[in-house]
Amino acid sequence: MVAVENVTKLFSNKAGVRDLNFSVQKGEILGLLGPNGAGKTTTMRIITGFMPPTSGTVRVNGFDVLEQPLEVRRRVGYLPENPPLYGEMTVAEYLSFVAELKGCRGARKKDQVDKVIEEVSLGDMRGRLLDHLSRGYRQRVGLAQALVGDPQLLVLDEPTAGLDPRQITEIRNLIKNLAGSRTVILSSHILPEVSMICQQVAIINRGRLVAQDTPENLSKRFAGFSRLEIEVKGPREAVEKELNSLESAQITVIRQGAAPELHRYIIDMDAGRDIREDIFFAMAGRGWPITEMAVQNASLEDVFLELVTEEDNGRETRAQ
Amino acid sequence: MGVLVVLKKELKSYLTSPLAYVLTVVYLALGGYIFSVILLTGGVAGMDAYFHNMSVILMFLVPVLTMRLWAEEEQKGTSELLMTVPISTAQVVLGKYFAAVALFGLILLITAVYPSILFRVGSPDTGALAAGYLGFFLVACTYLAAGFFASSLTRSQVIAAVTGFCILLALWVINWAAGAVTGLTGDVLRALSVSEHFKDFTRGVVDTTHIAYYLSAVFIFLYLAVTAIEKRNWS
């Protein structure tokens, strides 16, 4: 449905995006995740054709954004970071205007407006001036505007930013329900939100794509087995020495356990190596019972922080 | 179709904002004063002096009328809507421009009361009046296009108005230097001036050269506006 290939966007005065490559399948919800200023908005503006990339191509349903912009625009509903509202219009007037801009006339225009008002539950607000709406309702009108004309692709830039918790839940549910057969790209800097709504996550940092996968796979792939917490009954120094002698294990923290002879060890494993069995046999061999062993599965949050801080601090500080 | 949709919306927002009414009142008040003074002191049943004076006053009023046309869209972020719906930038620009022209046309219609007064008190030259109105309308169209261009350059309406005024002033006075230089340069300067081309209209002469000048100027300014709008997201 959407194919972003080698997209680079350079700005004279601020960071853009570099060599972005990702794709979204039909019917999928993709979350663009990244800290503020990572290039999410730029990416979305390029996909919608609002700004051209410096190099690279973006295709929506096979249409090139630069070559056939109108064909692309016919298929895309876009909610910018700030909903593009005309304060002097009422909700119904505004949505009719957007419908007309998108080429809906007569009966179809009326149907479309009624349909999107229904979809985002704005029925009571039809006649209200946009200037008099609260932030949450403005966001809904923005969403309704994107939905007008039945676009196959929805591009939503920070759809829940600036809303209160109840409104956030409402908008999230709305997006989930709306998705259906539509393809959705949404951006967010809030992790739980993305893992809750999206089937695919693309993490962007400093204008580069650091990872794209399902939320589950991302957690597994990047941090799955890397940390182990065990509790062993035995003399502390000896156990520590024994553990450190194992290949690819590194003790980071040692804490006193519940009983005097119990100690808890947090061990970092080299990525991709599972040394739980080695630890078991080593401890068993010396007659020190393992009273507890737990794998700390990194959450998506950890992965995100890991990826993002890695980029931020560069290699030198990672070495510590 | 896209042009019409934008025109309709734009005209509506003009007619629901106080700015258009304030400008209309100012224009009609100043125009009425100038018309009366000329008629009473000069005693001539013609409008050439009126048109000449009003085209100077328009230089101040038009930038205020056009300043919001694009700058406001940038400021409010609604440009992001207009630039991502399936209509071209040219259609948006034309729609907005024609809305401004239509609004000015409405104001001009009200001033039809002046010729009717002239016909009561004297026997004015109908041809000269018609030519004067045509020329004046073309001058206004050029101003509106230049004002639109100024608005397309910035997101600040104040800067748009000031820039617009500077462009109009430059176009008005550019031929003043023509007297100082001889030959081709002088001719070119004269040919670029809005006021120079307007002179013949007030004498009742409709020359296609002058019409072509104004239409080209409108085209160039609108083209520049489209380019400015499309390019502003490029870097």
* Chain A with chain B: Cβ pairs closer than 8 A: 67
Domain for residue A319, yes or no?
no
> Are A11 and A138 members of one domain?
yes
Instruction: Dump the DSSP string for chain A.
Output: -EEEEEEEE--SSS--EEEEEEEE-TT-EEEEE--TTSSHHHHHHHHTTSS--SEEEEEETTEETTTSHHHHHHHEEEE-SS----TTSBHHHHHHHHHHHTT--HHHHHHHHHHHHHHTT-GGGTTSBGGGS-HHHHHHHHHHHHHTT--SEEEESSTTTT--HHHHHHHHHHHHHHHTTSEEEEEES-HHHHHHH-SEEEEEETTEEEEEE-HHHHHHHHHTTSEEEEEEES-HHHHHHHHHHSTTEEEEEEEE-SSTTEEEEEEEEPTT---HHHHHHHHHHHT--EEEEEE-PPPHHHHHHHHHHHHHHHHHHHT-
- pLDDT value of position A299: 61
Distance between CA B106 and CA A168 in Å, rounded? 47
Residue of B nearest to A89 (CA): B13
Interface test with A, best of B9, B80, B227, B231 (most A CBs within 10 A): B80
The residue-averaged pLDDT of B107-129 equals 90
Q: Residue A16 has what pLDDT?
A: 86
Smallest CA–CA separation between B155 and chain A, in Å? Answer: 15
Q: What is the pLDDT of residue A316?
A: 35
Greatest alpha-carbon pair distance for chain B in Å reads 61
- What's the pLDDT at A265? 87
CB contact under 8 A, A101 and B1: no
Whether A168 and A265 map to the same domain: the answer is no
Residue A319 has a pLDDT of 33
- Considering chain B, what percentage of its residues have pLDDT values greater than 90? 71
Residue B179 neighbours by CB under 8 Å, 6+ apart: B186
Domain region containing B166: 2-231
Residue A238's domain spans which residues? 225-295
Do A201 and A233 share a domain, yes or no?
Answer: no
Residue from the list A11, A73, A86 with its beta carbon closest to the beta carbon of B85: A73
Pick among A60, A100, A147, A158 to test the B interface (most B CBs inside 10 A): A100
Q: Looking at residue A86, which CATH number applies to its domain? A: 3.40.50.300
Question: pLDDT tens for residues B187-226?
Answer: 888 888 888 888 888 888 899 999 999 999 999 999 999 9
Give residue A195's pLDDT. 80
Q: How distant is the Cα of B228 from the closest Cα of chain A, in angstroms?
A: 13
Residue A309 pLDDT: 60
Q: How many domains does chain B have?
A: 1
What does B162-188 look like in DSSP terms, one character per residue? HHHHHHHHHHHHGGGGGGTS-HHHHHH
Q: What are phi and psi of A208, to 5 degrees?
A: -120, 150
Chain B residues within 8 A of A70 when measuring between CB atoms: 86-88
Q: Fill in the amino acid letter for A183.
A: T
Regarding whether A62 and A189 lie in a shared domain, the answer is yes
Are A51 and B78 within 8 A, CB to CB? Answer: no
Residue in this structure with the two tokens 């009046």, named with its chain if needed: B129
Residue A133 lies in a domain: yes
Whether A80 and chain B come into contact, CB under 8 Å, resolves to yes
Q: Determine the Cα–Cα distance for residues B151 and B144; give it in Å rounded to an integer.
A: 10
Tell me the β-bridge partners of A253: A266
The pair of structure tokens assigned to A163 is 């809303």
Residues A131, A75 within the same domain = yes
Nearest-Cα distance to chain A for B160, in Å, is 20
Return the pLDDT at A307: 63
Residue A283 located in a structural domain: yes
A187 and A68: one domain? Answer: yes
Rounded average pLDDT over B125-135: 91
Is A312 within a domain? Answer: no
**Residues B15-59: pLDDT tens digits?**
988 999 999 999 999 999 999 999 999 888 888 889 999 999 999
> What CATH number has the domain bearing residue A232?
3.30.70.100
Residue where the block lists tokens 């919001």: B68
Integer Cα distance of B123 and B119 in angstroms: 6
Does residue A190 share a domain with residue A56?
Answer: yes
Q: Which tens digit of pLDDT belongs to each residue from A62-97? A: 999 999 999 999 999 999 999 999 999 999 999 999
- Are A11 and A131 contained in the same domain? yes
CB contact under 8 A, A88 and B13: yes
pLDDT of residue A311: 45
The residue of chain A nearest to residue B9, with distances taken between CA atoms, is A97
Indicate yes or no: CB of B233 within 8 angstroms of CB of A51: yes
Q: How far apart are CA A265 and CA A276, in angstroms?
A: 13
Q: Report yes or no: A88 at the B interface, CB cutoff 8 Å.
A: yes
In angstroms, rounded to a whole number, what is the distance separating the alpha carbons of residues A29 and A188? 13
Return the C-alpha torsion angle B11, B15, B18, B22, nearest 10: 90
pTM of the prediction?
Answer: 0.82
Residues A15-49: pLDDT tens digits? 789 999 999 998 899 999 888 888 899 999 999 99
- Tokens 């539509």 belong to residue: A182
ipTM rounded to 2 decimals: 0.89
Kindly state the average pLDDT of the residues B162-187: 87
What's the domain count of chain A? 2
Q: Is residue A314 part of a domain?
A: no
d(CA A102, CA A72): 12
According to the model, what pLDDT value does residue A300 have? 62
Residue contact A84–B77, C-beta within 8 A: yes
Whether residue A134 is found in the same domain as residue A238: no
Q: Which residues contact A14 (CB under 8 A, 6 or more apart)?
A: none
Q: Are residues A206 and A233 in the same domain?
A: no
Residue A12 is assigned to a structural domain of this protein: yes
Check CB contact under 8 Å for A76 and B84. yes
| Stretches in chain A below the pLDDT threshold 50 | 311-320
Closest-CA distance of chain B to residue A14, Å: 10
Let me know whether A210 and A230 are in one domain.
Answer: no
Regarding whether A177 and A35 lie in a shared domain, the answer is: yes
Query: How close B186 gets to chain A, by Cα (Å)?
Result: 40
Kindly determine whether residue A98 and residue B81, on different chains, have CB atoms separated by under 8 Å.
Answer: yes
Determine the residue of chain A that is closest to B2 in CA distance.
A101
* A12, A88, A103 ranked by CB distance to B16: nearest: A88
Residue A68 counted as domain residue:
yes
Contact B76 A88 (CB under 8 A): no
